[in-house]
DNA sequence: ATGAAAGCGCTAACAG
DNA sequence: CTGTTAGCGCTTTCAT
């Protein structure tokens, strides 16, 4: 129970062996005699030796830390991903170090910088912007594995793991169209975020494909966190009384939209049909249960983690983009349009 | 754009100054002439110098990392705390490194060990067990600040920041009693977790105080994650048809209970009144909105973080336990009992 | 104000 | 199989 940490030298002194030998048995590399091994292990236990990762990192260049940078770790979508990553990397001895950008490019830049300075062994990032990618070019050249999740950035030679967002937007929209809806709103956020952009593309594609003339005012953007989404929801619904359905771009927007509809006395799905991206447990328990485009969130996280670990082991250099399928989960928030 | 990282030596060589001088200006300590400063800064920028935290840590003993160990980072309660901590520590240059224990003592032990080996500057922990605290004794002696959140452990000289759980359990129970309920169930998990234990104590205290003879079978424990809570919920409700109300010990248990009630065709609050601990956005949007005992989750996180930072600065040694007040948020999931 | 030099705890050649 | 030695990149006395 010595308060100061015991080092290899302490054990070397105590056993009468050299530091190198002690390091070898404790590090589990090189050769060592059984006798030396026993002695060292015994003393190590007695002294309650704990290896100092920092010192090890200093020489190996490995920190056994993986960085995760997302919009908001509080968002269930991202916290699910964090957990999935954790489940993959922790058994391999890695730890997860997380950071939230609030979708601000500047914060993303400084986060990346800091994580690099802290020498993370790998980085998993949900990039804020699909277009402003100058700073990401350095990631491409970096010697540590980097994988982008949830969002694509064009023209970057990096691993990316995202959902089929265009397809998802299309499926959601077509589902509503098939129910008879024509005036369909779209509640989203910054289009620089590729998921928002792609889902909106899918929406537009579906409208066009069905000969529906959409209106720009049906698309409402901007909504920071849930309270922001709420305000956008109120604005969208109050300025467009002709809407019979709205698609929410993610679970935050859905919460905001639902809160807005509730406050405005709109009954779902009678007065308004709603469909949302993401699929969280609570969608099953809302009034009414929310029809959603589910993503394979867990798979997104664990695949990203596995990709990082593989790259760490094999130095593979082929980058690939994986698009995880989305799935329509029909619940009770969409009604056939009576007319 | 040199791929390998540039070091102080590179700048020293380039400027013709010594490494010590360069370190002084870049580190912002000691003295240096304006001339030297300008030169160094210029070259540093040109070479795109990024300090190596690991090397710095090696000598200062500081990693600028704070560890957070919780039951499950995916749980909105904990992810909210994580975000709150992050918001406090990141501006001070720290990063958050997280770990989930799944409420397993063994995992908690190894997590603590690993974080110590990785030399976190401070540790925030939601301890799994209120009784099995042998391993936590080492934390008391540790030279780094440790603060326990959400859960107390008796007889440990550590900072703790928790909610008024006994009081909360009491308030919840009394609220139901005042509505006329007598047969009140309690859905919870492992009682080694102090929140569960304390909330149950509050429940018992309230029953006793109102002359109600509770039954042990009204208390159902065990429910790992939401699916586990669901099974427990089904068991509780099917084995106790006499229950008119149930208290859920946290948001996971609430989700499980609601799912169970739904599957069993029980209408809330007509057939069953429900009240839950935690207060998450989705409680506002469920069918019906859930009456809850809200905790000040954000404050719990930021206070813990501030406490760690203060300890880091001032070496304060007085430990204290803070109990954050809980608040009853009345919504629509509890009905007056007709009889 | 600046430089030389020691050292944080560990790994990894290289000899022996 | 084991010991010696040289760093990893940075901070920090101690001289100059």
3-class SS of residue B214: coil
Using one digit for the tens of pLDDT, what is the confidence trace for B158-183? 999 999 999 999 999 999 999 999 99
Q: Is the CB of B90 under 7 A from strand D?
A: no
Which of B97, B141, B281 faces A65 most closely, judged by CB atoms?
B97
- pLDDT above 70 for A55: yes
pTM, to two decimals:
0.94
Chain B residues within 8 A of A57 when measuring between CB atoms: 54
- For A158, other C-beta atoms within 10 Å of its C-beta total 21
Q: Which two tokens stand for residue B137?
A: 């004794």
Confirm or reject contact between A45 and chain B (CB < 8 A). no
Q: Distance between CA atoms of A199 and B99, rounded to whole angstroms?
A: 33
Tell me the percentage of chain B whose pLDDT exceeds 70: 99
- Give tens-digit pLDDT for B233-269: 999 999 999 999 999 999 999 999 999 999 999 999 9
By CB neighbour count within 10 A (0-12 exposed, 13-18 middle, 19+ buried), where does A203 fall? buried
SS3 A96: strand
Q: Which nucleotide is nearest to A32 (CA to C1')?
A: D1
Which residue is nearest nucleotide D13, judged by alpha carbon to C1' distance?
B20
Average pLDDT, chain A: 93
Q: Is B73 on the interface with A (CB under 8 A)?
A: yes
What gap in Å lies between CA B77 and CA B250, rounded to an integer? 9
Closest CA to B164 of B194, B189, B184: B194
- Cis omega (within 30 of 0) for bond into A18: no
Structure tokens at A100: 């939230």
Beta bridge partners of B95: B65
Q: How far is A191 from chain B (nearest CA, A)?
A: 24
Name the percent of chain A lying above pLDDT 70.
Answer: 99
For residue A60, the chain B residue with the least C-alpha distance is: B54
* Token pair listed for B68: 């957070």
Nucleotides of C under 7 A from a protein CB: 1-5, 7-13
What is the C-alpha separation between B140 and B112, in angstroms, rounded?
13
How many angstroms is C1' of C2 away from CA of B66?
36
Instruction: Tell me the percentage of chain A whose pLDDT exceeds 90.
Output: 75
Helix ranges (H only) for chain A are 8-15, 19-27, 34-47, 53-60, 76-89, 105-117, 137-141, 165-178, 194-209, 225-239, 251-263, 297-314
A55 in contact with chain B, both atoms CB, cutoff 8 A: yes
Q: Which residues 103-142 of chain B have a CB within 8 Å of chain A?
A: 113-119, 141
B284 in contact with chain A, both atoms CB, cutoff 8 A: yes
DSSP 8-state class, residue B202:
H
Tell me, what's the pLDDT at B3? Answer: 42
Distance CA A293, CA A123 (A): 27
Q: C-alpha angle with apex B159: B303 to B315, nearest 5 degrees?
A: 90
Are B250 and B315 spatial neighbours (Cβ–Cβ below 8 Å)? no
What is the pLDDT averaged over residues B284-289?
Answer: 91
- Out of B55, B86, B143, name the one closest to residue A58 (CB): B55
Of B95, B113, B259, nearest to A118 by CB-CB distance is: B95
């Amino acid at each position: 129970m010595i308060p100061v940490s015991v080092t290899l030298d302490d054990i070397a002194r105590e056993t009468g062996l050299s530091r190198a030998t002690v390091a070898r048995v404790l590090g589990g590399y090189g050769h060592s005699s059984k006798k030396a091994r026993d002695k060292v292990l015994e003393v190590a236990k007695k002294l309650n030796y704990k290896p100092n990762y920092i010192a090890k990192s200093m020489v190996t260049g490995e920190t056994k830390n993986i960085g995760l940078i997302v919009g908001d770790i509080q968002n269930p979508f991202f916290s699910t991903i964090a957990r999935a990553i954790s489940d993959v990397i922790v058994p391999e001895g890695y730890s997860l170090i997380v950071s939230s950008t609030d979708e601000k490019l500047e914060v993303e830049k400084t986060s990346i910088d800091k994580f690099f300075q802290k020498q993370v062994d790998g980085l998993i990032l949900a990039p804020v912007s699909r277009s402003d990618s100058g700073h990401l070019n350095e990631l491409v050249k970096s010697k540590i594995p980097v994988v982008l999740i949830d969002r694509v950035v064009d023209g970057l030679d990096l691993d990316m793991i995202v959902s089929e967002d265009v397809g998802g937007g299309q499926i959601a929209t077509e589902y509503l169209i098939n129910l008879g809806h024509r005036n369909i709103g779209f509640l989203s956020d910054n289009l620089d975020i590729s998921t928002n952009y792609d889902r909106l593309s899918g929406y537009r594609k579906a409208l066009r494909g069905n000969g529906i003339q959409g209106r720009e005012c049906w698309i409402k953007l901007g909504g920071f966190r849930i309270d922001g989404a709420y305000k956008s929801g109120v604005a969208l619904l109050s300025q467009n009384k002709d809407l019979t359905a709205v698609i929410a771009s993610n679970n935050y927007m859905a919460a905001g939209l639902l809160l807005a509809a509730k406050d405005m006395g709109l009954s779902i799905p009678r007065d308004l049909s709603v469909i949302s991206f993401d699929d969280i447990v609570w969608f099953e328990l809302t009034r009414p249960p929310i029809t959603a485009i589910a993503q394979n969130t867990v798979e997104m996280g664990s695949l990203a983690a596995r990709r990082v670990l593989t790259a760490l082991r094999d130095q593979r250099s082929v980058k690939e983009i994986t698009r995880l399928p989305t799935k329509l989960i029909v619940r009770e928030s969409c009604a056939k349009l009576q007319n």
